[in-house]
Structure formats: C-alpha cells, structure tokens
Amino acid sequence: MLKKVATLILTLSTCVNAMTWEGETKNKPSIPLPRTSAPDFTATAVLHDDFTSVSLSDYTSKSQWLVLFFYPFDYTFVCPTEIRSFSDAAGKFADINVGVAAVSTDSHHTHLSWTRTPRENGGVGPLNIPLLADTGKKISYDYGVLITDPTDDMFGAALRGVFIIDPSGTVRSVMINDDGAGRSIDEVMRTVQALQYGDEHEGEGCPANWTPGEKTIKTNADGSKEFFKEWA
C-alpha cells in the first residue's frame, strides 16, 4: 500500500513539474529581440566544482555585459567543444567587461558530474564559466529557445542560442543555431566589441567583418561617403 502511495505521489509531482512549462507551451516561446529587456533569471549553477546561485542582476549590478548562451545537453558531442571554447576565452571577455554564462535544461548534479569527467572522455573538465541548471525550463522558455514540439526528438531541450545583454539589461544581439552547428566564439567576441564601440562613438557604425582598429562608417549621408569611396 505504501509503495502504491509513494508511486502516486511521484507521478503527481512529475506531472505538476511538467505542467509548469508545458502548460505555457500552448503559446510558442517568444524570442526577446534586440532593444528589448532581457528576461530576468536566477538559477543554481556549477562553478569551480561547487554549487552557486547565478542571476542576471549579478552582471547588471556590476555594470557588466553578459554573453548568455544556451546548449541542448550535457554529455553530448558539439556542446563540450563550445563550452570549453567559451571557458578558455573567459579571460578575454573579462578584459572587455563581459561575463559569460551557459544554460541547459540538465540538473546542477549532472553539470557537476560533467565538469568532473575528463575531457578525453567527453567531459568538460574544470571551467571558468558557470553552468546554469534550467531544470524547470523557464529560462529557456523565456528566452525563446526551448523546443516545445512533443514530436521533436529534442523536445524539452534548448536550441543553441546566444544572447548579448548590455549593462542596462537590454538585449543587444541574438544568434540561434540548430543542433548540429557549433558557434564561433570569435564572432561573438567581435559582435560585443562592435556594440561597445557603437555605444562609445555616437554617429558611427561598424561595417561587415569589422574588427577593432579598422575603419567605421559615419551614419549620415555625407559622412558615410568617405568610407564608401575606399570600400568601392
């Protein structure tokens, strides 16, 4: 009898947890576009072999930019290459006042196990960035990257989304890939640098493939001619 009651409680608990996000999926997730407020979040994360709490305000309160990136699953194939690459570049991002945080719908216990798994065995090893556990799937849903189609073999996981958020908590860039395409950390870095340059130099824009130190465009009809003459 007790076993049946325990099973019933577990089943009900599972259903309630599923409803917290599946009920919302009657409406497809909406992606927060550039120039809109980034959805707030707080989650348990793994950093430096321990559990900690990470919030959006941890970055905005320090007037820091944030690269928030989502990935589908721990213990997979493309994901560890991205996470390790972002982690290796964490110091370069910090040099330009940018924090980096990763999110998946795995639990913090799975994250911890993954960071303790040697890289040669498919683990990520020790990291310089936090891995956030979005087990309730709310963060992924709020950022529009949650796969909500029950017929999809990645149902309940997050797409490869990257959101660049400025110190005011405003989304400035959104990049989303399907599962098989890993992201370019150099391009994320370049995009942040271009956004920062534009904020610091009113009336100028960064052209395609711009990198720091290269010429920019005056964003008016007369001023832009100087750039276009050389570019033609």
Please return the burial class of 145, using the count of CB atoms within 10 Å of its CB with bins 0-12, 13-18 and 19+.
buried
SS3 sequence of 34-69? CCCECCCCEEEEEECCEEEEEECHHHHCCCCEEEEE
**Can you read off the two tokens belonging to residue 37?**
């407020």
In degrees, rounded to 5, the angle at the alpha carbon of residue 157 between the alpha carbons of residues 133 and 14 is: 70
β-strand partners of 176 = 161
Provide the terminal-to-terminal Cα distance of the chain, rounded to the nearest Å.
Answer: 81
For Cα atoms 188, 194, 200, give the angle at the middle one, nearest 5 degrees: 140
Q: What is the set of active-site residues?
A: 79
Q: Following DSSP, what letter does each residue of 160-199 receive, concatenated?
A: EEEEEE-TTSBEEEEEEE-TT----HHHHHHHHHHHHHHH
Compute and round to an integer the Cα radius of gyration of the chain. 20
Q: Are 140 and 22 in contact (CB under 8 A)?
A: no
